[in-house]
């Protein structure tokens, strides 16, 4: 598949993704029964993952969205820029951060610091993708979808310069 000036091949198809999303939701349903967690989806990339995950979360819960950015083209800038912030009071809440991908760990580390200072009771991460080889700041991911190689990926909400978010599958960059 071609997106803008780059070529990609399928890394994970929608059937694999769907199956894993249901498994993650089942684990969350079990672990958070009776706890009323607040899900915080990180936009833009996590929008498809968050929507599919929440279809299978059957416990009382809320969801909100924040927008942060640390990527430019196919590389992490290393800087986390908060674009749209959190409006809900998270004091004494159980938070579950919904992230499309954890690679360097910079974005999640930044958010964990911010949320801890606001008095959350607990904070866990559900990430569809994790790139262990790219980690610069180690974070604990309680609910992990897939561990992938340190390659640029697009699709299922992830983008290349704003394009490719609308595919059902996840594609990796062909070098």
- Given a contact cutoff of 8 angstroms between Cβ atoms, the answer to whether 64 and 38 are in contact is yes
**Position of tokens 């993708």?**
129
Q: Identify the H or E element spanning 67.
A: strand 62-72
| Annotated catalytic residue, options 31, 52, 100, 103 | 103
Residue 1: CB atoms within 10 Å? 14
Q: How far apart (Å, rounded) are the C-alpha atoms in residues 73 and 59?
A: 38
Assess whether 103 carries a catalytic annotation.
Answer: yes
Instruction: Tell me the C-alpha to C-alpha distance, in Å, between residue 44 and each of 5, 49, 70, 128.
Output: 22, 10, 12, 14
Instruction: Tell me the C-alpha to C-alpha distance, in Å, between residue 134 and each of 55, 99, 128, 160.
Output: 30, 16, 15, 18
Just list the catalytic residues.
Answer: 103
């Amino acid at each position: 598949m071609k997106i803008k000036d780059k070529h990609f091949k399928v890394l994970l198809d929608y059937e694999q993704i769907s199956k894993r999303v249901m498994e993650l939701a089942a684990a969350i349903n079990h672990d958070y029964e009776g706890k009323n967690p607040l899900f915080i989806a990180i936009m833009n990339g996590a929008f498809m993952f968050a929507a599919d995950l929440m279809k299978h979360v059957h416990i009382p819960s809320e969801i909100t969205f924040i927008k942060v950015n640390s990527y430019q083209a196919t590389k992490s800038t290393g800087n986390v820029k908060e674009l749209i912030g959190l409006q809900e009071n998270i004091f004494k809440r159980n938070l579950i951060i919904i992230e499309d991908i954890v690679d360097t760990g910079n974005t999640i580390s930044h958010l964990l610091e911010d949320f801890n200072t606001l008095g959350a009771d607990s904070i866990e991460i559900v990430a569809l993708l994790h790139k262990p080889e790219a980690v610069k700041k180690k974070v604990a991911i309680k609910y992990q979808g897939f561990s992938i190689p340190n390659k640029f990926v697009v699709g299922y909400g992830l983008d290349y310069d704003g394009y490719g978010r609308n595919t059902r599958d996840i594609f990796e960059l062909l070098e």
